[in-house]
């Protein structure tokens, strides 16, 4: 190994990767939300065909299945975002700098054209 100013490894030690139960729970949550979403979409299609066939109660179930499908998809997307952040693939947004309110100022009065400024 050489000696000198820049001798040695430039890389830091890699953190140990181990089993993380939180990641497993997030992955299972994403899977459950996506499976529930698929089932509710299938049910909504089925209830829609029954409702168009003249079954009046099917409209209520169609609406409930549709709202449930939207909620499951939204939950699945949120869980995917959290999983990606935990894995280090994405980062949290940078905090915004505190801005002071800009006071409304009146523009200076018009004193003439370009030649008048000379």
pLDDT band at 118 (very low <50, low <70, confident <90, very high): low
CA distance 62 to 48: 6
The phi and psi torsions of 50 (rounded to 5 degrees) equal -70, -40
pTM of the model: 0.64
CA distance 59 to 34: 24
Angle between helices 21-52 and 57-87 (to 10 degrees): 160
Residue 74's pLDDT is 97
CA distance 42 to 70: 13
96 has pLDDT over 90: no
């Amino acid at each position: 190994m050489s000696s000198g100013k820049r001798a040695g490894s430039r890389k830091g030690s890699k953190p140990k990767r181990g089993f993380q139960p939180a990641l497993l729970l997030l992955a299972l949550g994403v899977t459950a939300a996506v499976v529930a979403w698929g089932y509710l979409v299938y049910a909504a299609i089925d209830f829609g065909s029954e409702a168009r066939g003249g079954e009046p109660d099917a409209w209520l179930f169609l609406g409930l299945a549709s709202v449930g499908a939207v909620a499951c998809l939204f939950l699945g997307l949120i869980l995917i975002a959290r999983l990606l952040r935990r894995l280090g693939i994405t980062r949290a947004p940078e905090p915004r700098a505190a801005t002071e309110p800009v006071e409304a100022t009146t523009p200076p009065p018009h004193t003439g054209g370009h030649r008048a400024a000379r």
